[in-house]
Amino acid sequence: MQRSDFCIAGAGIIGLSLALELNRRGASVTVLDQADPLSEASTAAAGMLAANDPDNPTALQPLSDLSAALYPAYLALLERLSGIPVPFQTSTTLQAIESTHPLFPQALSPTAATALLPQLNPHGRSFLHLHEHSVDPGQLAPALLAAVQSTTIDLRTHTPVHTVRSTTTATQIDTAAGTLTATSYIDCSGAWAISQDPNPRHPVTPKKGQLCYIALPEAAPLHLVVRTHEVYIAPRTTGPHAGQAIIGATVEDCGFDTNVHPDDIARLFAAAVSLVPSLAAAPILESWAGLRPATPDRLPLIGPRPNHPHQFLATGHYRNGILLAPATAQLMAQILCHETCSIDPTPYSPARN
Ligand SMILES: Cc1cc2nc3c(=O)[nH]c(=O)nc-3n(C[C@H](O)[C@H](O)[C@H](O)COP(=O)(O)OP(=O)(O)OC[C@H]3O[C@@H](n4cnc5c(N)ncnc54)[C@H](O)[C@@H]3O)c2cc1C
């Protein structure tokens, strides 16, 4: 029976980024996906690297800061392996903030915010001016996939994992195409994670998000992300979607349904137009939905799976999996290879209370 050091379930941005980190350390890695690689949340996403979103849980900050710092090197690695550059689309964000938030003293007045973005109607709100990047996941995905394919990583698509059994020395992974053996198994299956665990400490559930692409008016291009608690507008400034912007996104509990509802897209569009009225005549080009992997405390699960020796989790990245991929891959690889961790992994431990 074929045996690898590490078997990863899920070829989304988390599973493939982890595979690259482990491969760089000389380990043999198999990645299994039930469908095509990067066909779920990782390509549905808007691509904001929202490390300083005031809606993020406080305990996410160290992982967010690490990942934002790792991003340039991560994109450079993908380009070196794949030959495909992935440019940052934007480098700042205007983020609406409530007067009760601790960061409110750093906010711009409504007048200062409109000086930065004349198209903005702040409705009397204050905004943070965040130095935050965004990427186009539609550009990142082919670079990440080509990077993986340039290595010895064994990527098997249309191969769902059915069951996983650990002995004292190894893990057996039953798939639709037979059984594999690995020293360790890492569940990176996004919103589908732990579906075999009847009583997980931190259940992962799908949170649906609908969003759309609009064509930006030529007379009023956008060069920064505008975000409120209700809606965001993330412009594309380079690449195949240059001159367009993503408007997102709903947050819904409806299982694994990914149908798009025109009424919901119309509501998002109206919220965006209220914020940036010059978008009123912008045509909607395309709309879609994806499933965010959410945990009850909105923190990811990175580390050993409780009571399951040789099994690990790297999932639950909810609204920030594009941002958190480089740091998650580094931290998980450090845990798996018994190295010193770049940051304290305790807040993200699947065994946390
Ligand atoms: C609408 C929307 C907007 C978003 N915007 C942003 C954003 O702006 N910035 C940001 O940082 N994040 C954003 N996110 C969140 C981000 O997309 C996710 O957190 C991230 O993509 C999760 O990556 P993943 O690899 O864990 O999951 P996925 O990309 O969903 O990959 C999981 C993979 O596991 C596979 N799988 C499932 N079950 C099995 C099985 N049994 N066997 C084998 N394979 C299996 C699936 O086929 C899938 O390919 C957004 C998400 C959505 C939906």
Closest ligand 1 atom to 292 CA: 53
CATH annotation of 93-130+206-294: 3.30.9.10
Using a 10 angstrom Cβ sphere, with 0-12 exposed, 13-18 middle and 19 or more buried, the burial of residue 278 is middle
Q: Write down the pLDDT at residue 219.
A: 81
Q: Of all protein residues, whose CA lies closest to atom 52 belonging to ligand 1?
A: 45
- Cβ of 322 less than 6 Å from ligand 1: yes
Counting ligand 1 atoms within 8 A of each CB, the residue from 48, 213, 232, 322 with the most, and so the one to mutate, is: 322
Q: Any idea which residue has 């030959």 for tokens?
A: 83
CATH annotation of 3-83+137-204+296-348: 3.50.50.60
Q: Of all protein residues, whose CA lies closest to atom 31 belonging to ligand 1?
A: 12
Between the CA of 211 and the centroid of ligand 1 the distance, in Å, is 15
158-213 pLDDT, tens digit per residue, is 999 999 999 888 899 999 889 999 999 999 999 999 766 667 789 999 999 999 99
Q: Write down the pLDDT at residue 129.
A: 97
- Cβ of 292 less than 6 Å from ligand 1: yes
- Cβ of 300 less than 6 Å from ligand 1: no
Between the CA of 331 and the centroid of ligand 1 the distance, in Å, is 18
Q: Write down the pLDDT at residue 339.
A: 98
Between the CA of 167 and the centroid of ligand 1 the distance, in Å, is 29
> Which is nearest to 325 in space by CA: 33, 64, 149?
64
How does residue 49 score in pLDDT terms, banded at 50, 70 and 90?
very high
With vertex at residue 250, the alpha carbon angle to CA 214 and CA 234, rounded to the nearest 5 degrees, is 40
Q: Any idea which residue has 């198994």 for tokens?
A: 185
Mean pLDDT of 286-305: 97
In the chain, residues under CATH classification 3.30.9.10 are 93-130+206-294
Does residue 43 surpass a pLDDT of 80?
Answer: yes
> Which is nearest to 10 in space by CA: 175, 229, 238?
175
Q: Write down the pLDDT at residue 195.
A: 64
Q: Any idea which residue has 């845990």 for tokens?
A: 335
Of the listed ranges 114-118, 284-288, 305-309, 312-316, the one predicted with least confidence: 305-309
Alpha helix positions (H), the chain: 13-24, 41-44, 61-82, 110-116, 137-149, 262-275, 321-336
Q: Of all protein residues, whose CA lies closest to atom 16 belonging to ligand 1?
A: 321
Q: Write down the pLDDT at residue 279.
A: 97
Q: Write down the pLDDT at residue 307.
A: 87
Q: Of all protein residues, whose CA lies closest to atom 6 belonging to ligand 1?
A: 45
Of the listed ranges 1-5, 132-136, 229-233, the one predicted with least confidence: 1-5
Q: Of all protein residues, whose CA lies closest to atom 10 belonging to ligand 1?
A: 320
Mean pLDDT of 266-285: 97
- Cβ of 290 less than 6 Å from ligand 1: yes
Q: How far apart are the first and last CA of the chain?
A: 38
299-342 pLDDT, tens digit per residue, is 999 999 998 899 999 999 999 999 999 999 999 999 999 999 99
Rounded to whole angstroms, how far apart are CA atoms 70 and 310? 27
Is the distance from CB of 249 to CB of 53 less than 8 angstroms? no
How does residue 50 score in pLDDT terms, banded at 50, 70 and 90?
very high
Counting ligand 1 atoms within 8 A of each CB, the residue from 30, 301, 320 with the most, and so the one to mutate, is: 320
Between the CA of 188 and the centroid of ligand 1 the distance, in Å, is 9
Closest ligand 1 atom to 32 CA: 43
Closest ligand 1 atom to 160 CA: 42
How does residue 347 score in pLDDT terms, banded at 50, 70 and 90?
very high
Is the distance from CB of 279 to CB of 244 less than 8 angstroms? no
In the chain, residues under CATH classification 3.50.50.60 are 3-83+137-204+296-348
Does residue 259 surpass a pLDDT of 70?
Answer: yes
Can you give the pTM of this predicted structure?
A: 0.98
